[in-house]
Structure 1
Amino acid sequence: MDAEASRDDLQADEVAVEELLTQLEELEASVDDPDERREVQRAIRLVDKFPGDGVRESIKKFTRRDIAESFVGAILISLPMLLEDGVFEIAEYLLATPWLFAVNAAFVVLIAVSLLYFADIRDVDVHRPIFGVIPRRLLSVLVVAFVTATFMMTLWGRLEGWQDASVALSRICVVWTVASLGAALGDILPGESSGTDINDELDDLGERVGIGDEEGRF
């Protein structure tokens, strides 16, 4: 009986904290004064640190740790492709049919979007998007996967010294397709990362060096 009562109290506390976070985020969006907005952001970060499972069932924060996890995931999933000569055959096919580059890029974005926001793996929210439109996590996954594919293919001599840029790009695009899958999974599988949101770190940096727009944001 006591255990059930304790569980009910814990659930009630988690709901209360979630409601408080929601209200603070609504307040953050409504205030105009930069100093007041920063105070609200500090309050959100403080509440986010409250202990207890279930306080954040969904993934909202985007941290440097998420980028590192995407990098590791991209490497692990793309390693077999880095060793296979089949990459060259697929790249030649893409190069012979240029419009397939656009189709392949759209397919990569579709994979990333599906894994991040529609697959029943984690509940991932689009939180504080770039320019109010571009999801930070999606852009990070795609960029990290592309940079990882480019770096590894160059490092392991799979691009023949970039003698032909079009051939090199086509091979990178093939590996990028697989690396984006690993980057997305590496990001969301561990759950929401601990640490400070990247936007908050940039705001704090802007305060220290005196740069940023009138709201303290980049």
Structure 2
Amino acid sequence: MSDVEVNVDEEEDDADMGDLFDELQELEDIVEDEDAREQVRETMRVAMLASAAASPFGRVIRGFDRGDLAEALLGSLLFGIPMAVEGGTQEVGTFLAPRPLFLGGTFAFTVVLSIGIIYVADIQDVRVHRPILGIFPRRLVAILSVSALMSALLLTAWGRVDWASPMLALANVVVAFVPMSIGAALGDLLPGS
């Protein structure tokens, strides 16, 4: 192996993996020997793997275990507790209760938003693994279920809903369900599980 002198200028302190890939791409373009080109490509592949391993982002996520469930529960509560103690939740619930179309739209919006966070936003590379009934992704079902259950339990336990008026109680639960689902999805994905 040869000794290589590395000269680092102050301007190059902010170099990142993108710069490395650019340099390797330039090297690949000027190398004439096919074996050497293949070695440069292999170096680029290893650098990509090392980059993904160095960051909690960019990993491939499959399955849904109790650790993921705990992260979703924590995220749900983190976003849901302010909804339980704040009076705006009841105001919005009171508005939605006599409007079932808006209530259903709010619920549907939450489901679509959760799908977007988990599968579309590219926060992580999330793969569907063994869907329930071959259709419903376990991660999505779990995140929505834990959010809905915690919303109902939290609002009920803290006396924020009265189930004697079930439509009003349901509307309040749906209102709290919106941010709790966002929190559950982010809580599950951001740690890079």
TM-score normalised over the length of structure 1 = 0.63
Structure 2 counterpart of 1:53, which letter? A
2:107 corresponds in structure 1 to 105
- Opposite residue 80 of structure 1, the aligned amino acid is P
CA distance in 2, matches of 1:85, 1:58: 40
Q: Which runs of 5+ in 1 are unaligned?
A: 15-51, 193-218
Q: Structure 2: which amino acid aligns with 1:188? A: L
**Contact 2:124-2:189 within 8 A present in 1 as well:** yes
What is the correspondence of 1:18-167 to structure 2 with a 5 Å cutoff? 53=53, 57-160=59-162, 162-167=163-168
Aligned residues: 150
Alignment match, 1:174: 175
Mapped to 2, the partners of 1:166 and 1:53 lie a distance apart of 48
Q: Cα deviations across residues 72-131 of structure 1 (Å, max 9, x unaligned)?
A: 100001121111111111111111211112111110111100000011311111111111
Shift of 1:62: 1.3
Question: By how many angstroms is 1:163 displaced?
Answer: 2.0
**Inter-partner Cα distance in structure 2 for 1:9 and 1:117:** 27
Task: Return the alpha-carbon distance in structure 1 between the equivalents of residues 167 and 99 of structure 2.
Answer: 12
Give distance in 1, aligned partners of 2:116 and 2:189: 12
Superposed CA RMSD:
2.6
State the 1:132 CA deviation: 1.3
1:84/1:135 CA distance change after superposition, 3 Å: same
1:21 is matched with none
Contact conserved, 2:96 with 2:171, CA < 8 A, in 1? yes
Query: TM-score, normalising length from structure 2?
Result: 0.70
Seq. identity, %:
38
CA contact (8 A) 2:69 2:142 kept: yes
Letter in 2 for 1:151: L
Letter paired with 1:189: L
- The ranges of structure 1 where at least 4 consecutive aligned residues each deviate by more than 4 angstroms after the TM superposition are 7-10
| Cα-to-partner distance string for 1:116-149 (whole Å, 9 max, x where unaligned) | 0011311111111111111000000100000011
